[in-house]
Amino acid sequence: MKFKKIFNDQRVVLTLLTIALFIFFGLRNSAFFNVDFVIYPLLRDGATLTVIGLAQLCVLSIGHLNLAVGRMAAVSALVAGASYQYWGLTLVQGAILGVLAGALLGAITGWIIVKSQVNAFIVTLAMDFALLGLVTFIYVTFTGATAAFTTKPAGMDYWRSKSLADFCLGPICGPKALPMMLVPAIFCLILVSFMFSKTRLGRELLSTGSNLRAAKLSGIPVENRVMTAHIFSGTLAGIGGLMLAYTNGSFTAAIGSQVMLPSFLGPVLGGTLLAGGAVAVLGTFIGTMMTLVIRQGLSVQGIGLETLNIALGLVLLLALSVGQIQKMFTSIKLRGKK
C-alpha cells in the first residue's frame, strides 16, 4: 500500500526513470560515466536550466506564461556585462545589478498585465520581441564588431570550472562531479520551495492560479500577486542569465535565446500545472535533469541530429504519459474488482 503511494508521486517516478536512463546509457557506453566530460557539464547545465525553469514555474503558479524568460535572462547578462566592462564592478556587484534588472523587467511585465488586463501570453510575447530588439541594438551600438561584453571579472571562471572538490572544510572536500554552479541553483530551489510550501505569499500565489475569482473573493490581493509572480520570474530569469554567461564565458545577445521551451519542460515534466495552482519545485530539477540525461546519453552513443531529436521527443512523450498510464492501469484494476 505504502509502495503504491510512493509510486503515485510523479517526482519519484521521474527520479527513478532518470536514474534508470543514466545507468542504461552508462551500460551501453561507459564513456557516459566520465566525470569530466559528461557528469560535471550535465549537472552544470542542469543547474542553469533549473533556475530558468523556476523562473517559468513562478508565473505558471498563477496560471500565466512568461515567453520572455530567455530575453529577461539576456538583459540581466547585458547589464552585468556592461557593468564589468565599463564601470569595473566586481563579480558580485555586477551580478546584483543584473538580477535587479531582471526583477525590474518582471515588475514592468506584471504591471502591464495588471493594468491592461491583456493576456500574459500576449504581453510576454510582445516583451520578448521588444527586448530582442533592445538587446541587439545595445550590443551592436556599444561593442561594434565584437557584439559582446568580454571583460571577465575576477572569480567568473571559478563558477564555470570549479567543483565542490575545490571547496573544502578542513580535510573534507566535496565530490568532483558536483559543479559550483549547483550552489546558486540549490539556493534558488530551497528559497522557491520554502516560499510555496511554508509562506502565506506562496499559498496566495497558488490560490490565485487555482481560481482567480475565488482568490479575489477570499481577500487575496490578486493584482499584487500577479506582479509578485512576474517579479520572481524576472529575478530568477536574471540569475539564470548570469549563470549562462558565466558558463559560456562572455555576455552576448544570444544568451537565453534557446531557453524558452526548456523553461517549460522542466516544471511541466516535474508536475507543475500549466493552468496554475500547483507547482513542483524539486520536480523542476528532476525534469530538467531527465531531459539533459536523455540528450547527452543519446549524444554519447553517437546518434545523429535527426535521430537524436526523434528519440528525445519519444522518450519525453513517454515520460509525460507516465501519469496517464498509471491512471489507466488503476482504472482497469478497479473495473476488474467490480
The contact set with another protein (CB under 8 A) reads 5-6, 9, 11-12, 15-16, 18-19, 22, 29-39, 41-43, 45, 48, 136, 139-140, 144-148, 150, 157, 160-161, 175-178, 244, 247-250, 252-254, 257-258, 282, 295-296, 299-300, 302, 304-305, 308
110 versus 238: smaller Cβ distance to another protein = 238
Q: Which residues are registered as beta bridge partners of 168?
A: 173
Report the alpha-carbon distance of residue 222 to residue 213 in Å, rounded: 9
198 versus 275: smaller Cβ distance to another protein = 198
114 versus 138: smaller Cβ distance to another protein = 138
Q: Which helix (H) or strand (E) holds 196?
A: helix 182-198
254 versus 316: smaller Cβ distance to another protein = 254
Report the alpha-carbon distance of residue 259 to residue 262 in Å, rounded: 5
**Residue 34 burial (C-beta neighbours within 10 Å; 0-12, 13-18, 19+):** middle
Spatial neighbors of 272 by CB under 8 A, at least 6 apart, are 57, 60, 61, 278, 279, 280, 283, 284
Least distance (Å) between residue 152 CB and another protein:
9
Least distance (Å) between residue 200 CB and another protein:
21
Report the alpha-carbon distance of residue 61 to residue 226 in Å, rounded: 10
Least distance (Å) between residue 218 CB and another protein:
28
Cα–Cα distances (Å) from 298 to 124, 178, 264, in that order, read 34, 22, 22
160 versus 216: smaller Cβ distance to another protein = 160
| Local structure of 194: helix, strand or coil | helix
**Residue 308 burial (C-beta neighbours within 10 Å; 0-12, 13-18, 19+):** middle
Spatial neighbors of 16 by CB under 8 A, at least 6 apart, are none
6 versus 325: smaller Cβ distance to another protein = 6
Least distance (Å) between residue 301 CB and another protein:
9
Least distance (Å) between residue 262 CB and another protein:
10
Least distance (Å) between residue 36 CB and another protein:
5
In this structure, what is the dihedral angle of CA atoms 172, 49, 51, 212, given to the nearest 10 degrees? -150
Least distance (Å) between residue 21 CB and another protein:
11
225 versus 295: smaller Cβ distance to another protein = 295
